[in-house]
Amino acid sequence: MQVLEIKVPDIGDFSEVTVIELLVKPGDHVNIEQSLITVESDKASMEIPSNAAGVIESLLIKLGDKVSEGTAIARIQLAGHSEQSLSVGERAQTATATTAIDTDAAAKSTAATSPIKLEAVSTPPQTAMPQASTSHQADAATLLLDKPHASPSVRKFARELGVDLSRVKGSGAKGRITQTDVQSYVKGALQSSPSSTEQNGISASGSGAALGLIPWPKVDFEKFGAIERKPLSRIKKISGANLHRNWVMIPHVTQHDEVDISDLETFRQALNDEHAKSGIKLTMLAFIVKAMVQCLKRFPEFNASLEGDDLILKKYMHIGFAADTPNGLVVPVLRDADKKGILDIARESSELAAKAREGKLSPADMQGGSISISSLGGIGGSFFTPIINAPEVAILGVGRGQMKPQWQARTTSFEPRLMLPLSLSYDHRVIDGAAAARFISYLGQLLSDFRRVTL
């Protein structure tokens, strides 16, 4: 029986690469192009295949050894020293001898001509190279150098379980993902609610695994007392998933301020008295919408959306407002607020709020907003941190107006004034803190002296 020594072929620029995996052992039967070992440099891992079929007689290297082109890997007893196996082996060796010299080129030419499986150290499972590589796959390998770090056998294991390695946290050296990491990930996913549908890693309940977090606590609540299980409403599920995405994806900052609306409240009550018969009721919301329009005119970056590296600046002024309904939160949008007077804004917003409570809003009623207002003033509370309604870049939270002592320079005394708490959350990728402070100060000036809206 003929014995052949298998050597590391031309592996491009790589030399002194570490053996990180032995994929065969003495006595194993191997086929041509079956991987024998995995080696790893700081840039890529490669499986070195056999260029002959037969039985491994002995391994000539061990884990951790450094190998280069020409290092003997194993002795193999050739199975039926056939013309075909030798010629394939010879052809493979000839081909590998022509492989290129840098990682990129090595990947491309290797894929095209040699049986070496070259993978970026971090290639995720779905792009792990099959035996018959194509140049397209080799390109993918070279492009994926900063993805998860795992050995081919762990990638194979993950692939078999359908696990996306980019979601698994590696506990090995330099963050390398081990088989145990994959097993723990699967365990965590199974422990989370089976009904939670992940949407790009985010779901209404969410396993947390997608964000690299520990799983959601699983508690047997009945152990502590009586409970009732109530499914989330459709609106809650939809708005929950949206709020979760917005909270996670947008770097929020919330700027608070308190503004004196005493004079505006007097004006509002006078207008309400005047229009008592018309059936239109003016609440603070209509005045805030009107003042917001002025603010958007002065600070156009608040009437914008991020699209990749571009900021879309909107020339229209459609103002959304959160409405509390028996089924959950919805945000109808009041169109062209800049073209409407206070009374029209009040009438339309109360119509939209009624439609929202009856569950009759159409998707079109809730689209195309410039900025949103979340007014909890009718209910109570002061400052809070509203979540931006993507793809908008800011939202104004309004609390309940409260009488408070305010220092008056004019009379050099404290006077009781009606103070309105405002909370402006903004997307810090688009809006700087200084711009937000200017926006809320200007809004405060308008609400304190509503005549300024006409300027």
Quick one: which H or E segment has residue 125? Answer: none
Q: What string marks each residue from 410 to 429 as x (binds ligand CAO by CB under 6 A) or -? A: ----------x---------
Give the helix ranges, DSSP H, for 144-283: 152-161, 179-191, 234-249, 262-274
Count of beta carbons in the 10 Å neighbourhood of residue 118: 27
Residue nearest to ligand CAO (CB): 377
Size of the site for ligand CAO (CB under 6 A): 19
Count of beta carbons in the 10 Å neighbourhood of residue 295: 21
Nearest of 59, 52, 133 to residue 93 by alpha carbon: 52
Chosen residue from 12, 369, 401, 444 binding ligand CAO by CB under 6 A:
401
Torsion region of 286: left, alpha or beta (phi above 0 gives left; psi -120 to 50 gives alpha)? alpha
179 Cβ neighbours under 8 A, 6+ residues apart: 153, 154, 157
Residue with Cβ nearer ligand CAO (41 or 402): 402
428 counts as catalytic: yes
Chosen residue from 386, 394, 426, 450 binding ligand CAO by CB under 6 A:
386
d(CA 122, CA 146): 6
Residue with Cβ nearer ligand CAO (154 or 319): 319
| 398 lies in the site for ligand CAO, by CB under 6 A | yes
Q: What string marks each residue from 350 to 369 as x (binds ligand CAO by CB under 6 A) or -? A: ---x----------------
| 321 lies in the site for ligand CAO, by CB under 6 A | yes
Total residue count of the chain as it appears in this document: 455
| 322 lies in the site for ligand CAO, by CB under 6 A | yes
d(CA 241, CA 108): 42
Chosen residue from 186, 235, 329, 435 binding ligand CAO by CB under 6 A:
329
Count of beta carbons in the 10 Å neighbourhood of residue 42: 9
Chosen residue from 38, 110, 137, 375 binding ligand CAO by CB under 6 A:
375
Residue with Cβ nearer ligand CAO (92 or 394): 394
Residue 369: CB minimum distance to ligand CAO, A? 14
Q: What string marks each residue from 269 to 308 as x (binds ligand CAO by CB under 6 A) or -? A: --------------xxx-----------------------
Strand partners, 72: 7
Half-sphere exposure of 71 toward its Cβ, with a 13 Å CA cutoff? 20
- Which residues are known to be catalytic? 428
Site residues (CB under 6 A) for ligand CAO? Answer: 283-285, 321-324, 329, 353, 374-378, 386, 398, 400-401, 420
